[in-house]
């Protein structure tokens, strides 16, 4: 039944198509009660910052009840807020305040697995014949006692954990404390849909679906084929993690996933204006995005990890976008340059001391792509990756892979709000992760006071983008490959905008295509480092250019 929460939604049901999403990592956004951990009242207190930036929506990483073995991605109650973050009433207040500021609210839904403390799993592991006995993926040991197949956990080692109660193995694609649900069971799918509906009725506007291609597994439990020793020249493969030594054919991205995504979409379609973006980690993520977003009956949007690596060359980006455009068709991407799982883009693309021009170029590039940009908290400040010493490490992934991989804590450190305040205004107590001194100089209040800051640039760029529907809704066409320069067109309603980016630290003269002779500079973005000269654009290192021409 559709209640008032769904009946009063914004009539702009397609706000997500080109809308800017701002990711909030709740533990590190704002602490309101002095325990060193961010919370819902703290987020509510700081939402004005997101609204002033010009974002259309916030995405909250998990705030559900959880033992926090994986910081909320191990849910023990899908319908309650963890006391660490507040209460359901705090959540309702957050949603109301966000809506009053014109912001949509998206929440992280972790559907592929639960915590081992979830009541469903407690019951499932109790016996072979209880009502939820097959709500998780259980399998007998092989004759020699080893796991049923060769599937690996992303966090290292076998994806199977022996359980002494049932004398069987259960599947966990992540931590052993995160057992995978059995989506082949229709009761599981129905229960999940009920939990999704619960939050829609509370007024949320959408979902970020964690590991959206992990819901189903191969029921025959066939072994994944091996891919051998990783090629050190292949940047897409992590040589540290044995997970990358398999082709993940049977443990994820199964064809049954499409049917469940259609069920999810049918539910969201009953709540106009709601949306969902799926995280796609796959051997062939672009093909998967195409499958999951085409046709308008599955995911609204999806994002992959293709822009979350270290390669920022024009050649790489051109190849990625060329493949994407040829593969995804009418599917709609969500473009992120950072998130809570990867090294911050300032360090990943810019090194220990990133060039401010590169950070501006990266933002302008992201805001110009066909799709919906997703900004990770602090990227608008230029926050760098923090080197967390092992004794302060919190991330179980980092602890398991240390020292070659130091985990994800370095991108999850607290937001610096006030340069002269204790802990940067984040908390009155020692925060759960250290806030480094170098981030204090990048605090929000310091950048607001500086008209030349990156924060001012982001705000102006986003405002400028909103004034040009061609950059929000337009089609996209790549221009020919250039070793230093990435260039493409965005076209819509009789307008064509030329977008040119010098992804190198060397100046270059980029010849205008004949079709763009007579192009006029499109001012107001704040992007600098380019001069239009008859027949070409002179680009400084990390310089960019926007030009306007009639189609």
CATH number at residue 484: 2.60.40.1180
- Cα distances (angstroms) measured from residue 195 to each of 75, 113, 192, 356: 12, 14, 5, 44
Q: 10 Å Cβ neighbour count for 168?
A: 18
Catalytic, 534? Answer no
Strands (E), 188-281: 206-209, 275-279
**What pLDDT is recorded for position 6?**
44
Residue 282 covered by a domain: yes
**CA–CA separation, 151 and 250 (whole Å):** 9
**What pLDDT is recorded for position 333?**
93
Domain co-membership, 390 together with 310: yes
Q: What is the mean pLDDT of the chain?
A: 94
Looking at 466, 493, 512, the residue that finishes a domain is 466
- DSSP for 66-123 reads ---TTTTSS-SEEEEE-TTT--HHHHHHHHHHHHHTT-EEEEEE--SB--TTSHHHHH
How many structural domains are present in the chain?
A: 2
68 by Cβ neighbours in 10 Å (0-12 / 13-18 / 19+) ranks as middle
Residue 242 covered by a domain: yes
Q: Give me the catalytic one of 31, 82, 90, 210.
A: 210
* pLDDT tens-place string over residues 184-214: 999 999 999 999 999 999 999 999 999 999 9
pLDDT exceeds cutoff 80 at 315: yes
Domain co-membership, 527 together with 413: no
Instruction: For the chain, give the longest Cα–Cα distance.
Output: 78
Contact assessment for residue 110 and residue 173, using Cβ atoms and an 8 Å cutoff: no
Domain co-membership, 433 together with 486: no
Average pLDDT over residues 341-355: 96
pLDDT exceeds cutoff 50 at 5: no
Domain co-membership, 351 together with 482: no
Percent of residues, the chain, with pLDDT higher than 90 = 88
Average pLDDT over residues 280-288: 90
* pLDDT tens-place string over residues 10-25: 558 899 999 999 999 9
Domain co-membership, 456 together with 533: no
Domain co-membership, 414 together with 545: no
pTM (two decimals): 0.95
pLDDT exceeds cutoff 80 at 547: yes
* pLDDT tens-place string over residues 354-403: 999 999 999 999 999 999 999 999 999 999 999 999 999 998 888 888 88
Residue 234: pLDDT band (50, 70, 90) is: low
DSSP label at residue 317: H
**What pLDDT is recorded for position 2?**
43
Domain co-membership, 443 together with 342: yes
Catalytic, 180? Answer no
Residue 318: pLDDT band (50, 70, 90) is: very high
Looking at 466, 483, 515, the residue that finishes a domain is 466
Residue 405: pLDDT band (50, 70, 90) is: confident
Strands (E), 366-450: 372-376
* pLDDT tens-place string over residues 453-510: 999 999 999 999 999 999 999 999 999 999 999 999 999 999 999 999 999 999 999 9
| Rg of the chain (C-alpha set) | 23
**CA–CA separation, 484 and 497 (whole Å):** 20
Q: Give me the catalytic one of 56, 205, 251, 279.
A: 279
* pLDDT tens-place string over residues 421-464: 999 999 999 999 999 999 999 999 999 999 999 999 999 999 99
Residue 104: pLDDT band (50, 70, 90) is: very high
**CA–CA separation, 289 and 278 (whole Å):** 9
Residue 36 covered by a domain: yes
* CATH number of residue 29's parent domain: 3.20.20.80
Domain co-membership, 481 together with 449: no
Among 2-6, 26-30, 177-181, 384-388, the least confident range: 2-6
pLDDT exceeds cutoff 80 at 237: no
* pLDDT tens-place string over residues 79-95: 999 999 999 999 999 99
User: Is there a cis peptide before residue 403, judged by omega within 30 degrees of 0?
Assistant: yes
Residue 65 covered by a domain: yes
Contact partners, residue 286, CB within 8 Å, separation at least 6: 304, 306, 323, 324, 327, 328
Residue 229: pLDDT band (50, 70, 90) is: confident
Degrees, nearest 5: CA angle 344-366-311: 55
* Domain boundaries, position 479: 475-550
**What pLDDT is recorded for position 9?**
54
Residue 519 covered by a domain: yes
Dihedrals phi, psi of 258, to nearest 5 degrees = -60, -40
Residue 199 covered by a domain: yes
Looking at 404, 435, 466, the residue that finishes a domain is 466
**What pLDDT is recorded for position 329?**
86
pLDDT exceeds cutoff 80 at 407: yes
Domain co-membership, 480 together with 413: no
Q: Judging by DSSP bridges, how do beta strands 520-521 and 544-550 pair with one another?
A: antiparallel
Domain co-membership, 434 together with 512: no
Residue of 51 and 407 predicted with greater confidence:
51
Strands (E), 356-416: 372-376
Domain co-membership, 444 together with 526: no
The neighbouring-strand residues paired with 372 are 334
**CA–CA separation, 174 and 397 (whole Å):** 9
**What pLDDT is recorded for position 148?**
98
**CA–CA separation, 345 and 338 (whole Å):** 6
Residue 148 covered by a domain: no
Domain co-membership, 35 together with 86: yes
Average pLDDT over residues 292-305: 93
């Amino acid at each position: 039944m559709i209640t008032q929460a769904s009946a009063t939604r914004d009539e702009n049901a397609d706000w997500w198509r080109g809308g800017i999403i701002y990711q909030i990592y709740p533990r590190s956004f704002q602490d309101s009660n002095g325990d060193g951990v961010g919370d819902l009242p703290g987020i509510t207190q700081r939402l004005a910052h997101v609204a002033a930036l010009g974002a259309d929506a916030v995405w909250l990483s998990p705030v559900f009840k959880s033992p926090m073995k994986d910081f909320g991605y191990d849910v023990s109650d899908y319908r309650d807020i963890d006391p660490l973050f507040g209460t359901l009433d705090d959540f309702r207040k957050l949603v109301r305040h966000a809506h009053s500021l014109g912001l949509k609210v998206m929440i992280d839904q972790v559907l592929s697995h639960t915590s081992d403390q979830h009541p469903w799993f407690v019951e499932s592991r109790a016996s072979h014949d209880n009502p939820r006995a097959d709500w998780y993926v259980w399998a007998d040991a092989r004759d020699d006692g080893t796991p049923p197949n060769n599937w690996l956990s992303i966090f290292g080692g076998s994806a199977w954990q022996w359980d002494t109660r049932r004398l069987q193995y259960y599947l966990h694609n992540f931590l052993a404390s995160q057992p995978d649900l059995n989506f082949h069971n229709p009761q599981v799918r129905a229960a999940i849909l009920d939990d999704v509906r619960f939050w829609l009725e509370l007024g949320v506007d959408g979902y970020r679906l964690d590991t959206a291609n992990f819901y189903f597994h191969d029921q025959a439990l066939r072994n994944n084929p091996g891919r051998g020793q990783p090629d050190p020249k292949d940047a897409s493969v992590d040589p540290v993690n044995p997970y990358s030594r398999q082709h993940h054919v049977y443990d994820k991205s199964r064809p049954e996933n499409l049917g469940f995504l259609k069920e999810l979409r049918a539910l969201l379609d009953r709540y106009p204006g709601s949306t969902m973006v799926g995280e796609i980690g796959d051997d062939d993520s672009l093909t998967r995005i195409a499958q999951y977003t085409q046709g308008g009956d599955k995911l609204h949007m999806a994002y992959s990890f293709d822009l979350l690596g270290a390669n920022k060359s024009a050649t790489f980006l051109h190849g990625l976008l060329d493949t994407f455009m040829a593969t995804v068709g009418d599917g709609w991407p969500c473009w992120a340059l950072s998130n809570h799982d990867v090294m911050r883009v300032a360090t990943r693309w810019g090194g220990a001391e990133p060039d401010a021009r590169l950070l501006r170029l990266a933002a302008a590039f992201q805001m110009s792509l066909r799709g919906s940009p997703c900004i990770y908290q602090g990227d608008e400040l230029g926050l760098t990756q923090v080197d967390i010493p092992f004794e302060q490490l919190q991330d179980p992934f980092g602890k398991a892979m240390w020292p070659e991989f130091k985990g994800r804590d370095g991108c999850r450190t607290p937001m610096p709000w006030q340069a002269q305040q204790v802990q940067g205004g984040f908390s009155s107590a020692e925060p759960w992760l250290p806030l480094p001194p170098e981030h204090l100089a990048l605090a929000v209040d310091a950048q607001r006071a500086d008209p030349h800051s990156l924060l001012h640039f982001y705000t102006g760029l986003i405002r400028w983008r909103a004034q040009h529907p061609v950059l929000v809704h337009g089609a996209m066409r790549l221009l020919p490959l250039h070793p230093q320069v990435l260039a493409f067109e965005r076209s819509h309603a009789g307008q064509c905008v030329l977008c040119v980016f010098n992804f190198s630290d060397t100046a270059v003269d980029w010849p205008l295509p004949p079709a763009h002779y007579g192009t006029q500079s499109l001012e107001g973005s704040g992007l600098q480092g380019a001069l239009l000269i008859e027949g070409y654009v002179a680009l400084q290192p990390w310089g960019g250019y926007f030009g306007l021409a009639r189609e």
